[in-house]
Amino acid sequence: MKILIVEDEQSIADLMIMNLIRAGYQCDYASDGKIGADKIEENVYDLILLDIMLPEIDGYELMEYIEPMNIPVIFITAKGSVKERVKGLHMGADDYLVKPFSIDELIARVESVLRRYHKGMEEIHILDAVIDTNKRCVYQHQQLIDLTNMEYELLLFLVRNKNMALYRDVLYQKVWHEDIYEQTRTLDLHIQRLRKKLGWQKQIKTVYKIGYMLEVSDEVC
Amino acid sequence: MKFAEKIIWSCLIILSILFSIGSSVLIYQNHHNLLQSTLKHNLSTHEIEVYSLETRLFQDSLEYSMSFGQDQSKMMNKAIYYLEQFRYTSQTKKTYGLSLPDKSIFYSNIDNQFSQYISVDYNQKYFIKHKDHQYKMFITSKINTGKDIYYLTSCYDMTSVYQDRDRQIINFLIISIILYTVAYTILRFLSSYLTQSIHKLNAVTKRIANGDYSERTCIKSDDEIGELSKSFDEMAEMNEKKIHQLEESVIQKEEFMGSFSHEVKTPMTTILGFADLLRTCDCDIKTRQKAAQYIYTEGKRLEKLSYTLMDLLSLSDQQIQLIPVNFQTIIKQLKEDYDKKDINCLLKFDSCDQWVKSQPELLFTLLRNLIDNAIKASKEGQTISLQTSVQDGYMKVSIIDEGIGMNEEDVQKATEAFYMADKSRSRSLGGAGLGLTIVKRICEAHQTTLSIQSQLNVGTTISFELEVLDYEEE
């Protein structure tokens, strides 16, 4: 899955690249519209993240160039007015991301756009399980595993951040979208149930003083 | 009640009052004169008749007393005969009555209802009586026929005099009604013509109230309404200008806020994103270092932006006091400032020992911003020079570089807030696009304009003028 990022702000581009790579995508980077156009010419991309205010060729111009190629595009810009958004979407963009955006939002939108194009990781194969993100179902050895909604969300988050030690309270916050830090007991409970249901007692590790981590050795993956 | 109607009715009322008074006086005077002349005429007629009757009767009595002796009834008949004669010869309508000193009436053709006035009591008197719309004048005189004494009462019909008056009054009423109708019609047209401009004013006011600020009355006349509409148009003009200014400043502010939010959002996204990464997972030392580095540099960028904005805000808030400033001192400060920094370009400053009307900190900021810009535009080893020349009491200060220059469009937009000719380049050099905006504000405070001449890849010359002062340091 190859994504092209056209963004003149080095810092933001770096941030996006780091997180997209972490989420399992391949990334390419262009610092202005001209380089972006060249790259689109040379390579085949599954998705383009396009900044609007670009030096040389701006995002809208580049969009006109991309449109006939049927490559999904997400606009990324600081111009968040309804007029601007409508303009962008009318030009053929698939989604619109307004700065400042959170990384989770970026990943979610990238996924949803790719899903729409049936390019996305509809099925995530992890360890001995298969996650169908369209049906929101988890299979293990062709057997449907019965998970609650929150358990599914938690699993998805762990899978997306596999091999990374995740802080407990942030984990709780991001899955449950609540700011109460003390309620991490709920998290512990869900982790225990996930371990039991999937039989991943070892794979979902407790990291001392930090939180949890889904460990997937590269050989198995 | 409408203004037009008010005018109409007040005019009509005044008109009718004055007209009535005038006509009444006229009618009364007419009547009075006619009455007087009729009276005089009647009196003289009566006098003549009395005189001729007396003479004839006297002659007759002389004749009678000789031939027939005293014959009273014959005398009386004679008198009646003469009176009948008078009656037929006269053109005026009159009647007579004859009475004796003992109040007995021996002859009368006066209407019976007036017969009471035939009497000796009214001797040498005249009066007017009226009954049943009939006006009669009575005059009674003594007639001496020698032996006998008669009293002749003449009764003149005065009805026509009074009828004349009544007719005049009726005529007056008819004429007034016609006149008032005509006056009303004329006033109606006149007032609607006069109030037409008021209606127009009203309509224009309503249209302006509805937001059509370009509306004007354009009523050309020398009267008060003309003046009012002129003042009104002036007011509308002022309002339109003010509103236009306000709208423009709102647009400017919106643009500023848009650019500002863009400038803030970019570092914000980076900071939030990397901080989120750091707090979510226990990442490796390399990633952590990179994230921390980004958070630090972007935070610095925000800090610098906030300082620049503070400068800008303080510039627009305070009234700037211009004082004599030694230009050489400022240049010295600048030299010291840039000596500390590591600059790849060559800086050349003209020495200029002049006093200028300015403010030390502002002048320093102004020059430093311009030199900073020049440095950003220059490549390694290129020269940046600050030149000064004094002419007509003004000192022209120019900052000249040999750098990348700008095209015409960029020159025009150069002083707009957050405008960057080469965004990625000036970003990487730590600019936010506010430098020239500050410079422009400072120049405005000095009542001077900034002139920019630039050519791509040849260089840029930015210059402004300062007032030179004759000032000796104490």
Closest residue in A to B421 (Cα–Cα): A55
The whole-number average pLDDT for the span B161-185 is 91
- Give the pLDDT of residue A119: 64
- Note the pLDDT tens digit of each residue in B366-412: 888 888 888 888 888 888 888 888 888 888 888 888 888 787 777 77
Contact yes or no for A31 and B424 at CB 8 A = yes
Segment (H or E) for B117: none
- Mutation test of the interface with chain B: which of A12, A14, A15, choosing the one with the most B Cβ atoms within 10 A? A15
Inside any domain, residue A219: no
Q: Could you tell me which of B379, B433, B423, B371 has the C-alpha nearest to residue B398?
A: B371
Is the per-residue pLDDT at B23 higher than 60?
yes
Does B150 lie in the same domain as B55? Answer: yes
Inside any domain, residue B108: yes
Tell me which residue range forms the domain holding B310: 213-318
Inside any domain, residue B86: yes
Pairing of strands B94-99, A211-214: unpaired
Tell me which residue range forms the domain holding A13: 2-116
Instruction: Assign residue B264 the CATH number of its domain.
Output: 1.10.287.130
At B273, list the tokens. 């994103």
Q: What is the SS3 assignment for A204?
A: strand
Contact yes or no for B280 and A15 at CB 8 A = no
Does B268 lie in the same domain as B293? Answer: yes
Query: CA A135, A140, A143, A147: dihedral to nearest 10 degrees?
Result: -50
Contact yes or no for B422 and A55 at CB 8 A = yes
Between helix B285-317 and helix B224-280 the angle, nearest 10°, is: 160
Total domain count for chain A? Answer: 2
**For residue B417, how far is the Cα from the chain centroid?**
44
Q: What is the SS3 assignment for A218?
A: coil
Does B330 lie in the same domain as B314? Answer: no
| Chain B nearest C-alpha distance from A139 (Å) | 27
Does A199 lie in the same domain as A171? Answer: yes
B294–A contact, CB cutoff 8 A: yes
Inside any domain, residue A221: no
Domain boundary residue, one of B318, B348, B372? B318
pLDDT along chain A (221 residues), means of 10: 86 88 86 87 88 81 85 84 83 86 87 78 78 84 87 87 83 79 78 89 86 74 39
Instruction: Please report residues of A whose CB lies closer than 8 A to that of B287.
Output: 18
- Note the pLDDT tens digit of each residue in B75-97: 778 888 888 888 888 777 788 88
Inside any domain, residue A87: yes
Closest residue in B to A52 (Cα–Cα): B262
Instruction: Output B23 or B111, whichever has higher pLDDT.
Output: B23
Inside any domain, residue A220: no
Is the per-residue pLDDT at B427 higher than 60?
no
Per residue, the 3-state secondary structure of B266-293, as one string, reads HHHHHHHHHHHHHHHECCCHHHHHHHHH
Contact yes or no for A15 and B298 at CB 8 A = no
Does A139 lie in the same domain as A103? Answer: no
Between helix B360-377 and helix B327-340 the angle, nearest 10°, is: 50
Instruction: Assign residue B417 the CATH number of its domain.
Output: 3.30.565.10
Q: Highest mean pLDDT: which of B165-179, B202-216, B377-391?
A: B165-179
Does A196 lie in the same domain as A97? Answer: no
> What ipTM score was computed for the predicted complex, to two decimals?
0.77
Inside any domain, residue B256: yes
- Please tell me which of the candidates A99, A167, A207 has its beta carbon nearest to residue B269: A99
Does B388 lie in the same domain as B293? Answer: no
Inside any domain, residue B447: yes
Does B103 lie in the same domain as B48? Answer: yes
Does A95 lie in the same domain as A134? Answer: no
Inside any domain, residue A34: yes
Does B352 lie in the same domain as B314? Answer: no
Instruction: Please report residues of B whose CB lies closer than 8 A to that of A14.
Output: 290, 294
Does A100 lie in the same domain as A30? Answer: yes
Does B411 lie in the same domain as B305? Answer: no
Q: What is the SS3 assignment for B468?
A: strand
- Please tell me which of the candidates A8, A55, A78 has its beta carbon nearest to residue B262: A78
- Give the pLDDT of residue B323: 82
Total domain count for chain B? Answer: 3
Q: What is the SS3 assignment for B190?
A: helix
B267–A contact, CB cutoff 8 A: yes
Q: What is the SS3 assignment for B71?
A: coil
Is the per-residue pLDDT at B28 higher than 90?
yes
Contact yes or no for B281 and A164 at CB 8 A = yes
B424–A contact, CB cutoff 8 A: yes
B251–A contact, CB cutoff 8 A: no
Q: What is the SS3 assignment for B139?
A: strand
Do B320 and B359 meet the contact criterion of CB atoms below 8 Å apart?
yes
Instruction: Please report residues of A whose CB lies closer than 8 A to that of B282.
Output: 164-167, 207, 210
- Give the pLDDT of residue B317: 65
What is the Cα–Cα distance from B74 to B64, expressed in whole angstroms? 9
Does B409 lie in the same domain as B377? Answer: yes
Sign, CA torsion B423/B429/B430/B435: negative
Does A112 lie in the same domain as A79? Answer: yes
Does B78 lie in the same domain as B122? Answer: yes
Domain boundary residue, one of A116, A138, A153? A116
Q: Return the percentage of chain B with pLDDT > 90, whole number.
A: 10
Closest residue in B to A157 (Cα–Cα): B280
Domain boundary residue, one of A116, A150, A171? A116
Do A91 and A112 meet the contact criterion of CB atoms below 8 Å apart?
no
- Please tell me which of the candidates A8, A12, A161 has its beta carbon nearest to residue B270: A12
- Give the pLDDT of residue A183: 66
Helix, strand, coil abundance in chain A, percent, nearest 5 = 40, 20, 35
Inside any domain, residue A23: yes
Is the per-residue pLDDT at B119 higher than 60?
yes
Give pairs for B95-100: CB < 8 Å, separation 24+. B95/B154, B95/B155, B96/B152, B96/B153, B96/B154, B96/B155, B97/B152, B97/B153, B97/B155, B98/B150, B98/B151, B98/B152, B98/B153, B99/B150, B99/B151, B99/B153, B100/B148, B100/B149, B100/B150, B100/B151
Cis status, amide bond into A100, omega within 30 of 0: yes
The angle formed by the CA atoms of residues B425, B428 and B433, to the nearest 5 degrees, is 70
What is the Cα–Cα distance from B133 to B341, expressed in whole angstroms? 128
- Mutation test of the interface with chain A: which of B260, B266, B407, choosing the one with the most A Cβ atoms within 10 A? B266
Q: What is the SS3 assignment for B26?
A: helix
Instruction: Please report residues of B whose CB lies closer than 8 A to that of A181.
Output: none
Inside any domain, residue B372: yes
- Give the pLDDT of residue A219: 45
Does A72 lie in the same domain as A176? Answer: no
Is the per-residue pLDDT at B430 higher than 50?
yes
B301, burial (CB in 10 Å: exposed 0-12, middle 13-18, buried 19+): buried
Instruction: Please report residues of B whose CB lies closer than 8 A to that of A8.
Output: 423-424, 427
Instruction: Assign residue B23 the CATH number of its domain.
Output: 3.30.450.20
Contact yes or no for B269 and A174 at CB 8 A = no
- Note the pLDDT tens digit of each residue in B55-64: 888 887 777 7
Chain B residues 95-154 within an 8 A CB cutoff of chain A = none
B269–A contact, CB cutoff 8 A: yes
Q: What is the SS3 assignment for A203?
A: coil
- Give B182's pLDDT tier (boundaries 50, 70, 90): very high
Domain boundary residue, one of B318, B335, B362? B318
Do A160 and A23 meet the contact criterion of CB atoms below 8 Å apart?
yes
The radius of gyration of chain A from alpha carbons, rounded to an integer in Å, stands at 19
- Please tell me which of the candidates B279, B282, B424 has its beta carbon nearest to residue A207: B282
Inside any domain, residue B201: no
Instruction: Please report residues of B whose CB lies closer than 8 A to that of A30.
Output: none
The DSSP 8-state label assigned to residue B404 in this structure reads -
Closest residue in B to A175 (Cα–Cα): B280
Does A94 lie in the same domain as A169? Answer: no
Does B367 lie in the same domain as B309? Answer: no
Do B144 and B54 meet the contact criterion of CB atoms below 8 Å apart?
yes
Instruction: Assign residue A156 the CATH number of its domain.
Output: 1.10.10.10
Instruction: Assign residue A20 the CATH number of its domain.
Output: 3.40.50.2300
Does A161 lie in the same domain as A144? Answer: yes
Residue pairs between chains A and B whose CB atoms are closer than 8 Å:
81
Contact yes or no for A100 and B261 at CB 8 A = no
Does B247 lie in the same domain as B124? Answer: no
Instruction: Please report residues of A whose CB lies closer than 8 A to that of B407.
Output: none
Does B287 lie in the same domain as B243? Answer: yes
Inside any domain, residue B186: no
Inside any domain, residue B205: no
Domain boundary residue, one of A97, A116, A135? A116
What is the Cα–Cα distance from A17 to A20, expressed in whole angstroms? 5
Helices and strands, number each (H, E), in chain B? 10, 12
Does A83 lie in the same domain as A182? Answer: no
What is the Cα–Cα distance from B413 to B78, expressed in whole angstroms? 134
Does A111 lie in the same domain as A8? Answer: yes
Mention every residue, 6+ apart, whose C-beta is less than 8 A from residue A38: A30
What average pLDDT does chain B have? 83
Mention every residue, 6+ apart, whose C-beta is less than 8 A from residue B363: B325, B327, B330, B356, B442, B466
Does A134 lie in the same domain as A173? Answer: yes
Inside any domain, residue A150: yes
Find the chain A residues whose C-beta atoms sit closer than 8 A to any C-beta of B: 8-12, 14-15, 18-19, 31-32, 53, 55, 78-79, 99-104, 161, 164-167, 170-171, 174, 207, 210
